[in-house]
Structure 1
Amino acid sequence: MRFTPVISFAPKKIARVAFAGLIASSFASVSNAHEGHDHSATQLTATAEAEATTSSTFQIGDKTYRWEHRADLGKQSDKMMAAAKGGLHNNADQDLKTNEIVTVVSRFGLVALDAEMKEWNLVEDQDPKFASGMNSHGADCFVVDDESYWAFASTNTGEVVISKRGEIVAVLKSPKGGEFDDETINKYYTDGGRFAPCDVVYAPEAQSLIVVTGYAPGDYALTAKNVDGTWQWTGAAWGGKTSQGGPFATAHGVEVGTIDGDEVVEVASRAHGRIYGFTASGEMIQMPGATEEKFIQLPPRSNPCNLSLHGDEMYLPLLNPLADSNGVAPVLIVAGGKPVGRLVPAEFDGLQYMHHMHGFCAVERDGKLFGIALSWPNGGENKKGKRNDGQIAIFEAVSAE
């Protein structure tokens, strides 16, 4: 076993909680509704059989689970939904102390979903920067010295923003060169190379922030540390585009897990559909179920935008459809290097415009698994009349037996 199973809600990043056997059978299904509105028990029960026929299922061991859309959860204001429809290029993460889910909706602000997942609200007393146009392309919540921090990788403003519940404590902009152990990467930034952070994660054992920068010629993983109270670029950096001899083809998502008790930085490389594992110093390791080249090769057409870890499973929101996903993108679920199922949000009533998946946050509540899915609106498609929206939806995994 890669991870030690425990029957309790445990923080991600350190060890994934084994999911098999934890999920209690629950059939509080929902559909025929738009997100953010309440529905009666009769409505919820009436659609259970219809949703059971979707392809949104997955397998763990000999158990099969299906996803049900929980439209009674995640209520949003009209203003938040309007902002998301045109600009949700996002991921979300869970605060490890309060269990809130947080993200930034561009031109709206920093929002938090309460621990019961009932309603999204703007975070009080937040810095105006969060509503000024930055996005939450990548998000990570972490704890240092018993204090909770929220970090966001904003591609459209080219910065990593670190905050304490909306109070900004640091903004990491482009490295200048000379900060890292890799001279090739130092030269890239000395020469004015573009910095476009796609995702960020904190590695607790290494006490480092790891940032991936796939939206630039410099397709790297970079390290930042808190040195004497100031967050700054320093230490390990690695990667590079495949065209330049590196492993990445748009490093787009990053997470931290453990393999055989060791901390591992896992990177989703979007364009060629691969998942890599590294130590925090940048040494590539053999991922469970990986090829001889050490990476996990995803099915053809897979282009993961982010990854979320829970139990022994990876949850990978894909930007575009697979060959058999009926023209809409799924969240691919992978265990042991192999697909074990999927979630296709656009299959569910009221969510038919969730064509492109960009973020997914797997969380556990009372022994049940939930997924918060975030979709990306393709402006080019919308201009051509193929409507698709940025939406957030919550799903519950229930026994299919």
Structure 2
Amino acid sequence: MTQRLRFRTSIVLSCFVATNALAHEGHDHPHEAASAPQQMVATAAGPEANSFVADGVTYQWKHRPDLGLQPEAMVAAAKPGLHNNADEDPETGEVVTVVANYGLVKLDQQMKSWSLVDDQDPHFAGGMNSHGMDCFTIDGEVYYASASTNTQEVVVSKRGKVIARLESPKGTEFDNPGVNAYYKSGGRFVPCDVVWVPTAKRLLVVTGYSNGDFAISARRVDGAWKWDGVAFGGRIQQGGPFLTGHGIELKITEDGIETVQIASRGHGRLYGFTPNGAMINLNATEGQYYAQLHNAARPCNLDFQGDLTFVPLLDSLPSTNGVAPVMVLKNFESTGSLIPAEFDDLQFMRHMHGLKTVRRDRKLFAITLSWRNGGENGQGKLNDGQIAIFEAVATQ
């Protein structure tokens, strides 16, 4: 079941061209440090580490090292810099992502092992990644969209056959003059995540590693993909809502309403929008159009299962002993957590970047992807990019 949201809309904040320094990939600059929030909706990692409560039942996370076996070449490519998220093919049930300098990979429906997608375009084995990933269906055909921070493009493919490579907009494509002016002046374009919005029939892309910090649209027109139409957001220093818009996902309510949710990493907030960019009051707090997480939270992405929201954090919380958790939320309140680095052989999964939940035989699994911080490794605080699979097991 999906969560039913009560919301009201407001006018979208204006967008301006920023002039401050650029944010580098993988971290925020000091000027992005958030002030302490006036209100925290989700206040902790959860009632107990590595468990969560749903519908009155407590579930414990169990690491499944027998699942998700990886070829040695994939591990070798991921450890220097896995910076990814993944998504599920709606037709085959395979989970897919792109590992930079290795290729487009799939996890079989039984989640036994990863392998390269057959007959894929050579472009996937180059330097691109899937910092954000979405699988979707148009007219009965499945497409994959990858937001690649490495190569600064959104790659749309039909199961590995590249259909389009959307590079930086020119500044004439959108219905927002501020966004157009930013790109027309040569503003940096670094796509962080992408999602398909079925009713609007467009891709929405967040561009957080840049002064733009926008959500922008792409559509398929006469068989060709191009930037076009809705654009909104903007960096908080310039009057917009975002401080590194990092993850974007679609939530569909019980009555069929599409809600676009965006994880704004630098100040630990989750925002909601209609597909046309009107802001939604997610938590029904008067005058506050976002859900504020813990003030140390740096959310990377979002994943939904029923009325639960899973939020991988880049860094630790005060209660997580220096390693990053995945927060489990219900109605934007904490109901538990998953902390991969606390499990045997996963102690180097210190920064959580991506997560995809899947259901198999009525069981819930979480595929977690961690980010490798090379700077920390150089200082002796080892961590690397790993992928691990967990099963949610009900306790009595």
* Structure 1 residue 125: Cα displacement: 1.1
2:133 matched to which residue of 1? 139
Cα shift readout 1:238-278 (whole Å, capped 9, x = no counterpart): 00011000000000000011234311111000001111110
Which of 70, 87, 106 is residue 76 of structure 1 equivalent to? 70
Once the two structures are overlaid, the 10-residue window that deviates more, 257-266 or 277-286, is 257-266
Q: In structure 1, what is the Cα distance between the partners aligned to 2:140 and 2:249? A: 21
Q: In structure 1, what is the Cα distance between the partners aligned to 2:206 and 2:70? A: 30
Q: In structure 2, what is the Cα distance between the partners aligned to 1:174 and 1:154? A: 12
Question: Which residue type is aligned with residue 80 of structure 1?
Answer: M
Cα shift readout 1:81-120 (whole Å, capped 9, x = no counterpart): 1111111000000000100000011111110000000010
* Structure 1 residue 229: Cα displacement: 0.5
* Structure 1 residue 124: Cα displacement: 1.1
The count of corresponding residues between Structure 1 and Structure 2 is 353
Q: Contact 2:153/2:167 (CA < 8 Å) preserved in 1?
A: yes
Partner SS for 1:243: helix
Q: In structure 1, what is the Cα distance between the partners aligned to 2:348 and 2:102? A: 21
2:212 matched to which residue of 1? 218
Q: In structure 2, what is the Cα distance between the partners aligned to 1:383 and 1:305? A: 23
2:342 matched to which residue of 1? 347
Q: In structure 2, what is the Cα distance between the partners aligned to 1:292 and 1:61? A: 30
Question: Which residue type is aligned with residue 83 of structure 1?
Answer: A
Partner SS for 1:271: helix
2:54 matched to which residue of 1? 60
Instruction: Report the aligned-residue RMSD.
Output: 1.4
Which of 271, 276, 282 is residue 276 of structure 1 equivalent to? 271
Q: Contact 1:289/1:296 (CA < 8 Å) preserved in 2?
A: no
* Structure 1 residue 290: Cα displacement: 5.4
Q: In structure 2, what is the Cα distance between the partners aligned to 1:293 and 1:2? A: 23
1:202 matched to which residue of 2? 196
The yes-or-no answer on 1:295 pairing with 2:290 is yes
1:382 matched to which residue of 2? 377
1:124 matched to which residue of 2? 118
Q: Contact 2:235/2:242 (CA < 8 Å) preserved in 1?
A: yes
Which of 233, 244, 254 is residue 239 of structure 1 equivalent to? 233
* Structure 1 residue 61: Cα displacement: 3.2
* Structure 1 residue 294: Cα displacement: 2.1
Question: Which residue type is aligned with residue 331 of structure 2?
Answer: G
Cα shift readout 1:131-155 (whole Å, capped 9, x = no counterpart): 1111110000000011001110001
Q: In structure 2, what is the Cα distance between the partners aligned to 1:290 and 1:141? A: 33
Partner SS for 1:88: coil
* Structure 1 residue 55: Cα displacement: 1.6
The yes-or-no answer on 1:181 pairing with 2:175 is yes
Q: Contact 2:92/2:109 (CA < 8 Å) preserved in 1?
A: yes
* Structure 1 residue 2: Cα displacement: 5.7
The yes-or-no answer on 1:335 pairing with 2:327 is no
2:101 matched to which residue of 1? 107
Partner SS for 2:347: coil
The yes-or-no answer on 1:157 pairing with 2:151 is yes
Q: 1:291 to 1:363 in 2, by over 3 A?
A: farther
Cα shift readout 1:52-73 (whole Å, capped 9, x = no counterpart): xx82001113211110001110
Q: 1:292 to 1:330 in 2, by over 3 A?
A: same
Q: In structure 2, what is the Cα distance between the partners aligned to 1:281 and 1:318? A: 27
Runs of 5+ unmatched residues, structure 1? 5-53
Q: Contact 1:279/1:285 (CA < 8 Å) preserved in 2?
A: yes
Question: Which residue type is aligned with residue 340 of structure 2?
Answer: P
Segments ≥4 residues shifted beyond 6 Å: none
Q: Contact 1:289/1:336 (CA < 8 Å) preserved in 2?
A: no
Q: What TM-score results when the alignment is normalised by the length of structure 1? A: 0.86
Structure possessing the higher relative contact order (Cα contacts under 8 Å, 6 or more residues apart):
2
Q: What TM-score results when the alignment is normalised by the length of structure 2? A: 0.87
2:15 matched to which residue of 1? none
Runs of 5+ unmatched residues, structure 2? 5-47
Cα shift readout 1:288-333 (whole Å, capped 9, x = no counterpart): 4656412111112111111111111111110000010011000111
Q: Contact 2:120/2:161 (CA < 8 Å) preserved in 1?
A: yes
Partner SS for 1:253: strand
Q: In structure 1, what is the Cα distance between the partners aligned to 2:238 and 2:106? A: 40
The yes-or-no answer on 1:356 pairing with 2:380 is no
Q: Contact 2:2/2:306 (CA < 8 Å) preserved in 1?
A: no
Q: In structure 2, what is the Cα distance between the partners aligned to 1:329 and 1:315? A: 13
Q: In structure 2, what is the Cα distance between the partners aligned to 1:68 and 1:87? A: 26
